[in-house]
Amino acid sequence: MGISFIYNKSDELTDLNELVEQQITRDAQVATEGLSITPTKNEGPVDECGGGRGRQERGVFFTRIQNTKGTNDWIFILKDVSESRLYNEFVMLMCDIQPKDTVLIYGPSKCSTNVASFISSAILSCPCKNINICIPYVYNVGAAYILSFASKIVYSPYDIMVCRLDEIIVGGGLWDAKSTLKMHNDKFNSMFSRLIRVGFLTQEEVTHIRDKQGQIVVYTDDLVKRYTKFNSLRNK
């Protein structure tokens, strides 16, 4: 993943360090952990596990701004990935965040129930409770579930929420398949209960998704009302 910066093109910058030096003010020091700069000449970064050069897939990118007050402002970008292990770095960093820090998370637009539970647990266990989450395009129940754990939702009138159940694949013997189906149903029912409780979905909408295998699309004024109500209730 490359990071693009908008700056005055009359400036002659050769690398990220020069750009950061120009952006440092008297009130803040910028730390650039987690930033990945697009390699040139089609060369990937050195594989940390050895084996030569090659791109190493990551699920999280982040920046940390250290203020003069001694607190930090964290920004996380979570990619849409299918494996929970790619978010391990995010989980560890969330544990290191201090109670008075602030956090802004750009969440994945789509993720499995396992990944959604993994990320949500990290948010819940974080010592800081000032966690803002932004997911402009929510494309399944897992992403909506993550968004429901925000202290405040950062949104715009152009956001959209599409709630639907992803296809599930079961294998093994008859009882294995039956147990897997029950597990998926229990997870979805738990997530749906929370989404109803926080006001993202109504009971009628959940019935349409779960029992009729349909989908619900919420956008513009309707979605803004739901997010506004969520934020007002979380601030009480």
Domain membership of residue 190 (yes or no) is: yes
Domain membership of residue 114 (yes or no) is: yes
Select the highest-mean-pLDDT range: 79-83, 162-166, 213-217.
213-217
Q: Residue 132: give its domain's CATH number.
A: 3.90.226.10
Q: Which two tokens stand for residue 145?
A: 């579930």
Q: Which domain holds residue 165?
A: 57-234
* Strands 72-78 vs 131-134: parallel, antiparallel or unpaired: unpaired
What's the pTM?
0.75
pLDDT of residue 55: 53
Counted domains in the chain: 1
Place of tokens 């930033």: 35
Domain membership of residue 31 (yes or no) is: no
Domain membership of residue 20 (yes or no) is: no
**φ/ψ (deg, to 5) at 16:** -65, -35
Domain membership of residue 122 (yes or no) is: yes
Q: List, for residues 73-114, the tens digit of each pLDDT value.
A: 999 999 988 788 889 999 999 999 999 999 999 999 999 988
Closest Cα partner for 198 from 135, 153, 137, 131? 153
Domain membership of residue 48 (yes or no) is: no
Domain membership of residue 202 (yes or no) is: yes
3-state secondary structure of 114: helix
CA distance 36 to 62: 9
3-state secondary structure of 28: strand
More confident: 16 or 124: 124
Domain membership of residue 107 (yes or no) is: yes
More confident: 57 or 30: 57
The one-letter amino acid at 118 = F
Backbone region of residue 90 per phi and psi (left: phi > 0; alpha: psi in -120 to 50; beta: other values): alpha
**φ/ψ (deg, to 5) at 176:** -60, -45
Instruction: Average the pLDDT over 164-173 and give the result.
Output: 77
Contact of 62 with 34, CB cutoff 8 Å: yes
Under DSSP, the state recorded for 87 is G
